[in-house]
Chain A
Amino acid sequence: MSYVIETHGLCQRFGKTEAVKDLTLQVPQGSVFAFLGPNGAGKTTTIKTFMNILEPSEGSATVFGVDSRQLGPGQFSKIGYVSENQELPEWMRVGQFLEFCKPMYPSWDDGFCGKLLKQFNLSADQKIKSMSRGMKVKAALLSSLAFRPQLLVLDEPFSGLDPLVRDEFIRGVLELTEQENWTVFVSSHDIDEVERLADWVGILNQGRLELAEAIPSLQARFRQMEVVVKDGADVPKGLPESWLTPEKAAHTIRFVESRYLENETETKIAVHFSDCAEVTAQPMSLREIFLTLARTYRLSA
């Protein structure tokens, strides 16, 4: 498997604050990688570092095998980058902006650009300055998609997008990823949308990467467990580390098994709950997994 983005022991410090700590990450080619984490986790800082907007304090990052510090026009002509905070040249009209971008990209596709313009419901005569935040994100997206990038980096791209455009955008990205083998790296709070889009997920907490895994594998090993106990006993002590956020509700003990293997999990339950009446294991959505992990990290913090 080849990787489009790789980081090794990446650190980013701002004075005494360590925003990213020893981050080692690999983004496989052709994947849609969802980069999740609570506010202030260091997602945007990580992206800015491997995009050569910031220089790493320690460690290294590569994109297309090139050190992030050396990224130049050759690599950026294959990368589409959209961030919610990106500042566009506001004095331009959308048409002027696209005309300005076009000569920089040898692979610019006028037809595709026109199609996206319609799809995003943008007018070439509109002045960027007078556009809403969502419209500006659309314009930035358009200019980052029209040259059919090999890598699309999206930092909180959905903010301000109306549900219809968001849906169309996700469909479009999925289609292009499949057809043209794009790699998409997307950081977002909108886990539901990312779940539809992503096949890989990375979760960052307080600058540290807690996990990075293919979503099918992640969903295979996470289960919402419910154990009905006869005498309504409390949550026992000494539960396995892989059982996250255990809680009691009447005669039921609930927890999340993070290393689910049907037989092994049942054996462990039998050991810890001798008077177990019923056990159910339910698959979890990415959102549920994320929330469980977020709660666990907060408790451990």
Chain B
Amino acid sequence: MNLAIHLFKKDFRHLRVLLVLWLFLVVLQSVLIGTGLAAAAGDVVLQIIFSMIGMLIPLLQYIALVVIIPLLVQDEPLVGTTAFWFTRPMARQDLLASKGLFIGALLVLPPLLAELIMLICNGVTPRHVLLAVPEVLLTQLCTVLTIWVLASLTRTFARFAVVGIIVVIAMWLVMAGLAIAQLLQGDVFKKLNEFSLTESRGVVASAVVIVLCSIAIVHQYLTRKTARTIAMACLAAAATVAITSAWPVDFLKTAKRPVQGDILKGETVSVAMDSSDKLYSSDAFSFRSSATPKKDLRGNLTVSGLTSGLAASIASIRSKIVYPDGKTFIWDGDGNANLTRMANNNQWDSEAIRHALGGISIVNEKEQSHSYETLFELDSDLFYKYGEMKGVYTADVALDVYKCERVATLRLQKKARFDSGSEHVVVTDVLREPHGCSVILSSKNVKLLFAADARPEMANMMGKQKALYVLRNQKLGQAFVPKQDLNAGASMWMLQMNERLVNMPIRSRYESDYKDSPIDEAWLADADLVRIEAVEVGTLSKSLRIEDFVMNVKKEKPNEKRKPSIKPPASS
């Protein structure tokens, strides 16, 4: 062990300049994530600049690792026959220990500590801080060990660079090949729908890379049998590719529980086609011009019988149409319909909001749009053949039931704040506008793979908000729901995809041209901001049956006020 320390000191002296640079980058990244974006809250330009710098620093950190690790490892190279240390009284175990100590203490631990300190300083709960540890280690070890393996199989930095480039290109080609194969098979939407599965695969692949690379490194240090170590490294690469594309267990999927007990009288809840509305059909979008043309059939589904204060959103539809000639069409509801649904599910149920607000009047309720669900999709020629025919439409509709809860009231002024666990929201500005106002909020929260309550989800990527800020005037008994400027928030969110601490600006616009309840200075004087959260109640599965179902119904353009966020399909 004394020799290991002796070697550690030698390496420290050798690489001290690069280490200072590396540690500077580590600290700078944490400071930027932890304080930079928060300090720039309300200033979009500064936020974008900080985000860009925030993206550049990880790249610089990676470059630093790619330089430091080969220099460290190749000071005592493990391949070739001319290295000085081969014939010196230097135990291989001591050499491995010294390199491991160096990499662990100076290249893995500092980023971990910096991130944990940054999370603590930003008010993240101890539980979330602890759950961040395996995630940070997984990422950092995966990177460091991969570079270490390559460095231990090459004698000089130039060779390391060449081999590294070859490996990166080879991996890219393999992954691109798999992606192309999936594209050709039309699995793109399916993959997007499997967001948590992709995350699970990433975790397993990282763990396997860590284990196999560790074994390869130990093997190379203790035996210097390079051919066998290369075989192990190839195995690790193959395993990564296989797991990334085929690992079946989605252990990061947030389990949805069925509705429990008396919260709902399940039997009374029903799903029906809105009789006041009509069916719309359109040419279905396809990624391939050569694909068989398809038709989308959409309609407005209503859920009734929910206990007061509860709302439901449609999670999935699996449907079937049976015609008198015995022809049966089945649609499993996968594909782009799910993504469209996710994009539409950022709309909140007005009745549930009103219930959470204690029955207060929502002035701009009528502006809330309806979603047109895809009820069926089939080949165009079949659509025209059976379009005028009457059939029986049946569907299994999965519902996500939620309720709205009022969790906090914020004063309508700068620096008013909401704190709950690791989440911290601050009002950074209130902007008066001709027909209302905009409230700029700075929201800070964690995004952690191993914390079920802070796990990134596809729905969030699609712009779904966990909380809604309603502008309320208690005295007048009026409230406005926001028109959220989702693009700003989503783009900032995307910029920070690699970070565990997410600083996201939220711009909530409250607009009204109602003469009887305008949002003017007098109205705002008594207004406050109510945070409403959607609390999941459970899932419910319901059947829908429509007799005499005709697909190709003549229809008129949908009412502008009821325009869904995804354009309704054109009439066929």
Residue B82 interfacial (CB < 8 Å): yes
From B75, B88, B91, residue with most partner A Cβ within 10 Å: B88
Residue B84 interfacial (CB < 8 Å): yes
Residue A66 interfacial (CB < 8 Å): no
- A-side contacts of B2, CB under 8 Å: 103
Residue A130 interfacial (CB < 8 Å): no
CB-contacts of B80-103 with A (<8 A): 81-84, 86-91
Residue B3 interfacial (CB < 8 Å): yes
CB-contacts of A72-94 with B (<8 A): 72-74, 76-77, 79, 81, 83, 85-89, 91
CB-contacts of A37-82 with B (<8 A): 48, 51-54, 72-74, 76-77, 79, 81
Given A89-B75, A104-B3, decide whether A48 and B88 contact each other with a Cβ distance below 8 A.
no
| Chain A residue total in the interface (Cβ 8 A) | 27
In terms of DSSP, what is the predominant structure of the interface of chain A?
A: mixed
From B14, B75, B87, B90, residue with most partner A Cβ within 10 Å: B87
Q: Compute how far the CA of A79 lies from the CA of B89 in the bound complex, rounded to whole angstroms.
A: 9
- B-side contacts of A73, CB under 8 Å: 89-91
A63 CB to closest chain B CB (Å) equals 11
Q: Compute how far the CA of A74 lies from the CA of B3 in the bound complex, rounded to whole angstroms.
A: 13
Q: List 23 A-B contacts (CB under 8 A).
A: A48-B81, A53-B81, A53-B86, A53-B87, A54-B81, A73-B89, A76-B88, A76-B89, A76-B90, A79-B87, A86-B84, A87-B82, A87-B83, A88-B84, A89-B75, A91-B14, A100-B6, A100-B10, A101-B88, A103-B2, A104-B3, A104-B89, A140-B84
State the 9 A-B residue pairs at the shortest beta-carbon distance, nearest first: A73-B89, A81-B87, A77-B89, A76-B89, A104-B89, A85-B82, A53-B81, A87-B82, A53-B86
A-facing mask of B49-91, CB < 8 A → 1, else 0?
Answer: 0000000000000000000000000010100011110111111
- B-side contacts of A3, CB under 8 Å: none
- B-side contacts of A72, CB under 8 Å: 89, 91
Q: Which residues of B contact A (CB under 8 A)?
A: 2-3, 6, 10, 13-14, 75, 77, 81-84, 86-91
Q: Compute how far the CA of A105 lies from the CA of B88 in the bound complex, rounded to whole angstroms.
A: 9
Asked if residues B87 and A51 are in contact (CB atoms below 8 Å), the reply is: yes
- A-side contacts of B10, CB under 8 Å: 100
Asked if residues A105 and B81 are in contact (CB atoms below 8 Å), the reply is: no
B87 CB to closest chain A CB (Å) equals 4
Asked if residues A87 and B84 are in contact (CB atoms below 8 Å), the reply is: yes
Q: Compute how far the CA of A83 lies from the CA of B77 in the bound complex, rounded to whole angstroms.
A: 17
- B-side contacts of A76, CB under 8 Å: 87-90
From A54, A96, A103, A140, residue with most partner B Cβ within 10 Å: A103
Q: Compute how far the CA of A9 lies from the CA of B82 in the bound complex, rounded to whole angstroms.
A: 25
CB nearest to B77 among chain A residues:
A87
- B-side contacts of A81, CB under 8 Å: 87
Q: Compute how far the CA of A140 lies from the CA of B2 in the bound complex, rounded to whole angstroms.
A: 23
- A-side contacts of B88, CB under 8 Å: 76, 101, 104
Given A73-B89, A73-B90, A89-B75, decide whether A103 and B3 contact each other with a Cβ distance below 8 A.
yes
Q: Compute how far the CA of A87 lies from the CA of B79 in the bound complex, rounded to whole angstroms.
A: 12
CB nearest to A52 among chain B residues:
B86
**Seed contacts A48-B81, A76-B89, A91-B14; 7 additional CB < 8 Å A-B pairs:** A72-B91, A73-B91, A74-B89, A83-B82, A89-B14, A96-B13, A104-B3
Asked if residues B84 and A89 are in contact (CB atoms below 8 Å), the reply is: yes
Q: Compute how far the CA of A157 lies from the CA of B81 in the bound complex, rounded to whole angstroms.
A: 17
A82 CB to closest chain B CB (Å) equals 9
Q: Compute how far the CA of A29 lies from the CA of B87 in the bound complex, rounded to whole angstroms.
A: 20
A281 CB to closest chain B CB (Å) equals 44
B-facing mask of A99-127, CB < 8 A → 1, else 0?
Answer: 01101110000000000000000000000
- A-side contacts of B13, CB under 8 Å: 96
Q: Compute how far the CA of A53 lies from the CA of B82 in the bound complex, rounded to whole angstroms.
A: 8
Asked if residues B82 and A104 are in contact (CB atoms below 8 Å), the reply is: no
- A-side contacts of B14, CB under 8 Å: 89, 91
- A-side contacts of B83, CB under 8 Å: 87
Q: Compute how far the CA of A79 lies from the CA of B87 in the bound complex, rounded to whole angstroms.
A: 8
From A51, A73, A88, A101, residue with most partner B Cβ within 10 Å: A73
Q: Compute how far the CA of A52 lies from the CA of B83 in the bound complex, rounded to whole angstroms.
A: 12
CB nearest to A80 among chain B residues:
B87
Asked if residues B89 and A105 are in contact (CB atoms below 8 Å), the reply is: yes
A271 CB to closest chain B CB (Å) equals 52
Q: Compute how far the CA of A77 lies from the CA of B90 in the bound complex, rounded to whole angstroms.
A: 9
CB nearest to B156 among chain A residues:
A87
CB nearest to A153 among chain B residues:
B87
Q: Compute how far the CA of A28 lies from the CA of B47 in the bound complex, rounded to whole angstroms.
A: 77
- A-side contacts of B75, CB under 8 Å: 89, 91
- A-side contacts of B91, CB under 8 Å: 72-73
A289 CB to closest chain B CB (Å) equals 31
CB nearest to A147 among chain B residues:
B89
- B-side contacts of A87, CB under 8 Å: 77, 82-84
CB nearest to B7 among chain A residues:
A100
- B-side contacts of A153, CB under 8 Å: 87
Q: Compute how far the CA of A54 lies from the CA of B83 in the bound complex, rounded to whole angstroms.
A: 12
Q: Compute how far the CA of A105 lies from the CA of B75 in the bound complex, rounded to whole angstroms.
A: 20
B217 CB to closest chain A CB (Å) equals 20
CB nearest to B86 among chain A residues:
A53
B90 CB to closest chain A CB (Å) equals 6
Q: Compute how far the CA of A48 lies from the CA of B83 in the bound complex, rounded to whole angstroms.
A: 11
Given A100-B10, A103-B6, A104-B3, decide whether A86 and B82 contact each other with a Cβ distance below 8 A.
yes
- B-side contacts of A96, CB under 8 Å: 13
CB nearest to A54 among chain B residues:
B81
- A-side contacts of B89, CB under 8 Å: 72-74, 76-77, 104-105
CB nearest to B225 among chain A residues:
A55
CB-contacts of A236-253 with B (<8 A): none
Q: Compute how far the CA of A103 lies from the CA of B201 in the bound complex, rounded to whole angstroms.
A: 48
CB nearest to A48 among chain B residues:
B81
CB nearest to A72 among chain B residues:
B91
- B-side contacts of A85, CB under 8 Å: 82
Q: Compute how far the CA of A153 lies from the CA of B75 in the bound complex, rounded to whole angstroms.
A: 23
A125 CB to closest chain B CB (Å) equals 15
- B-side contacts of A74, CB under 8 Å: 89
A174 CB to closest chain B CB (Å) equals 23
Q: Compute how far the CA of A86 lies from the CA of B86 in the bound complex, rounded to whole angstroms.
A: 10
B102 CB to closest chain A CB (Å) equals 15
Asked if residues B84 and A51 are in contact (CB atoms below 8 Å), the reply is: no
B431 CB to closest chain A CB (Å) equals 59
CB nearest to B87 among chain A residues:
A81
CB nearest to B71 among chain A residues:
A91
Q: Compute how far the CA of A79 lies from the CA of B2 in the bound complex, rounded to whole angstroms.
A: 21
B245 CB to closest chain A CB (Å) equals 37
B-facing mask of A273-298, CB < 8 A → 1, else 0?
Answer: 00000000000000000000000000
CB nearest to B76 among chain A residues:
A89
CB nearest to B223 among chain A residues:
A55
